[in-house]
Amino acid sequence: MSVERWWKRVPSRTLLLVQLFAVLLSPWLEGIALGHWILSALSAGVLGTAMWMVRRSAIEIRVVMAFAMVGVICYAGHLWFDVRALGALGAAGYAAAFFAAALSLIDYMMGDERATRDELWAAGATFMLFVEAYAWLNVLCQTLQPNAFVLPLPGAPAERTWVELLFLSATNFSATGLSDILPVTPHARILMVVQQWNGVMYMALIVSRLAGMLGRTRRPSDTET
**pLDDT one-digit tens code per residue, 173-208:** 998 887 799 999 999 999 999 999 999 999 999 988
**pLDDT one-digit tens code per residue, 123-165:** 999 999 999 999 999 999 999 999 999 999 999 999 999 999 9
Mean pLDDT is lowest, of 54-58, 209-213, 214-218, for 214-218
Whether the CB-CB separation of 15 and 123 falls below 8 Å is answered with: no
* β partners of residue 183: 149
Q: What does the pLDDT read at residue 3?
A: 45
Whether the CB-CB separation of 57 and 104 falls below 8 Å is answered with: no
Whether the CB-CB separation of 56 and 100 falls below 8 Å is answered with: no
Q: Where are the alpha helices (DSSP H) in the chain?
A: 3-9, 11-29, 35-53, 58-81, 84-109, 117-144, 162-173, 186-201, 208-224
More confident of the two residues 39 and 222: 39
Closest CA to 166 of 157, 154, 174, 156: 174
207: number of Cβ within 10 Å: 16
More confident of the two residues 54 and 198: 198
Q: What does the pLDDT read at residue 67?
A: 96
Sign of the torsion angle spanned by Cα atoms 213, 12, 38, 35: positive
Q: Provide the mean pLDDT of the chain.
A: 88
Q: What does the pLDDT read at residue 221?
A: 46
Q: What does the pLDDT read at residue 141?
A: 98
Over its C-alpha atoms, the chain yields an Rg (Å, rounded) of 19
**pLDDT one-digit tens code per residue, 69-126:** 999 999 999 999 999 999 999 999 999 999 999 999 999 888 878 888 889 999 999 9
Distance CA 66, CA 177 (A): 34
Domain limits, the chain: 3-224
Residue type for position 40: S
Question: What is the pTM for the complete model shown?
Answer: 0.90
Residue type for position 90: G
Conformational region of residue 205, where left means phi above 0, alpha means psi within -120 to 50, and beta covers everything else: alpha
